[in-house]
């Protein structure tokens, strides 16, 4: 189950200073909910530095429209500035959330840096920088269980945290649904927002079981708003996410809704809020 565990961390991949706010915000919220440490990971990409050294590499000045040669030294300086800004942003947000944090800088390529930084039971926070961006390769690796990662949080650059937006849990009734409700209820508690459960089920009986489990797991003092949706068509869920303006979304990574890459993209596109995709705890069916 989602609980505080010694050594559990939130690893947030920080690629550029202009894309840091939303993943840091998502990481801080999640860290506060499960009392975990945030690890900021900044990768200075060798491929970008090598590209800057090519004769045709140019940079276009904002406002002037003038281009000039892009050198390796200029790219190194740009990475150093980005590293400083990312570290400052993470430090300020983690301190406001009153969670532990650390910061790592690596050279190489982003995917390799992420793999080397992750440990068993960690969560990974990624920035989705543009509509249509694909995180399916990372999801496939995590879903296979080979990394030992408990979940991924995909933070959209469109996110502007709404006042009082609900936390939405998408429960398809499987073992991962229990993790989903527990995490969503914790996020709702630390953010002071409502909890909405989307019960995705084939029958009314299945939906009833999901509703009963949701109320039990959410605990005393919580009154989740539960809505039933039919299985098999993610467009209904996507429409609900677009309509409700949530502050956070939690779902079962191993559920049917997230098995198809096209459906994953549709659901990620539907919500500007961070979407946490969690795996069932070891030992659950």
Q: pLDDT (tens digit, 9 = 90+) per residue, 100-118?
A: 999 999 988 887 888 888 8
The count of structural domains within the chain is: 2
**With contact defined as beta carbons under 8 Å apart, do 160 and 262 qualify?**
no
Q: Are residues 96 and 169 in the same domain?
A: no
Q: How far is CA 252 from CA 33, 112, 118, 182, 248, in A?
A: 18, 25, 20, 12, 14
Q: Are residues 147 and 168 in the same domain?
A: no
Biggest distance spanned by C-alpha atoms of the chain? 66
Asked if residue 218 belongs to a domain, the reply is yes
Please return the burial class of 54, using the count of CB atoms within 10 Å of its CB with bins 0-12, 13-18 and 19+: exposed
Out of 22-26, 220-224, 252-256, the most confident range is 22-26
Q: Are residues 148 and 230 in the same domain?
A: no
pLDDT score of 283: 45
Q: Are residues 113 and 180 in the same domain?
A: no
Q: Which two tokens stand for residue 3?
A: 């609980």
Q: Are residues 47 and 118 in the same domain?
A: yes
Asked if residue 121 belongs to a domain, the reply is yes
- pLDDT tens figures, 199-216: 999 999 999 999 999 999
pLDDT score of 222: 75
Please return the burial class of 186, using the count of CB atoms within 10 Å of its CB with bins 0-12, 13-18 and 19+: buried
Q: Answer whether residue 135 shows pLDDT above 70.
A: no
Q: Are residues 192 and 242 in the same domain?
A: yes
Q: Answer whether residue 2 shows pLDDT above 60.
A: no
Q: Are residues 39 and 174 in the same domain?
A: no
Domain containing residue 92: CATH number = 3.40.50.12370
Q: Are residues 20 and 150 in the same domain?
A: yes
Q: Answer whether residue 264 shows pLDDT above 90.
A: no
Least Cα distance to 235 among 200, 197, 206 occurs for 200
Asked if residue 240 belongs to a domain, the reply is yes
**With contact defined as beta carbons under 8 Å apart, do 169 and 197 qualify?**
yes
Domain containing residue 177: CATH number = 3.40.50.620
Final residue before a domain boundary, out of 126, 159, 192: 159
Q: How far is CA 61 from CA 21, 54, 58, 233, in A?
A: 24, 19, 10, 46
Asked if residue 228 belongs to a domain, the reply is yes
Length of the chain as a residue count: 285
Q: Are residues 183 and 262 in the same domain?
A: yes
Mean pLDDT score, 58-87: 78
pLDDT score of 137: 62
Which is more confidently placed, 254 or 158?
Answer: 254
**With contact defined as beta carbons under 8 Å apart, do 53 and 72 qualify?**
yes
CA distance 161 to 176: 26
pTM for this structure? Answer: 0.87
Q: Answer whether residue 140 shows pLDDT above 70.
A: no
Asked if residue 42 belongs to a domain, the reply is yes
Q: Are residues 148 and 191 in the same domain?
A: no
Percentage of the chain lying above the pLDDT 70 cut: 81
Which is more confidently placed, 24 or 61?
Answer: 24
Asked if residue 243 belongs to a domain, the reply is yes
Range of the domain at 241: 162-278
Q: Answer whether residue 188 shows pLDDT above 80.
A: yes
DSSP 8-25: -EEEEEE--GGG-HHHHH
Final residue before a domain boundary, out of 110, 127, 159: 159
* Band of pLDDT at residue 44, cut at 50, 70 and 90: confident
């Amino acid at each position: 189950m989602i609980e505080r565990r010694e050594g559990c961390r939130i690893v947030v991949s920080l690629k550029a200073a202009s894309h840091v706010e939303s993943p840091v915000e998502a990481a801080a919220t999640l860290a506060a909910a499960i009392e975990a440490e945030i690890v900021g990971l900044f990768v200075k990409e060798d491929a970008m530095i090598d590209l800057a050294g090519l004769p045709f590499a140019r940079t276009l000045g904002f406002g002037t429209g003038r281009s000039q040669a892009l050198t390796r030294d200029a790219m190194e300086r740009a990475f150093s500035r980005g590293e400083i800004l990312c570290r400052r942003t993470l430090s300020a947000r983690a301190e406001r959330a009153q969670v532990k944090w650390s910061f790592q800088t690596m050279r190489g390529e982003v995917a390799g840096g992420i793999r080397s930084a992750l440990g068993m039971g960690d969560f990974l926070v990624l920035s989705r920088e543009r509509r249509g961006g694909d995180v399916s390769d990372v999801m496939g690796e995590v879903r296979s269980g080979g990394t030992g990662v408990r979940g991924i949080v995909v933070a959209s650059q469109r996110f502007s945290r709404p006042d009082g937006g609900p936390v939405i849990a998408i429960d398809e009734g499987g073992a991962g649904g229990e993790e989903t409700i527990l995490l969503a209820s914790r996020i709702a508690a630390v953010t002071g927002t409502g909890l909405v459960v989307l019960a995705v089920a084939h029958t009314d009986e299945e939906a009833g079981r999901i509703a009963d489990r949701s109320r039990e797991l959410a605990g005393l003092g919580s009154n989740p708003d539960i809505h039933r949706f039919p299985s098999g068509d993610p467009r209904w869920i996507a429409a609900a996410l677009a309509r409700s303006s949530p502050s956070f979304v939690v779902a079962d990574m191993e559920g049917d809704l997230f098995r198809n890459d096209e459906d994953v993209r549709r659901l990620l596109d539907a919500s500007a809020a961070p979407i946490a995709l969690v795996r069932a705890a070891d030992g659950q069916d």
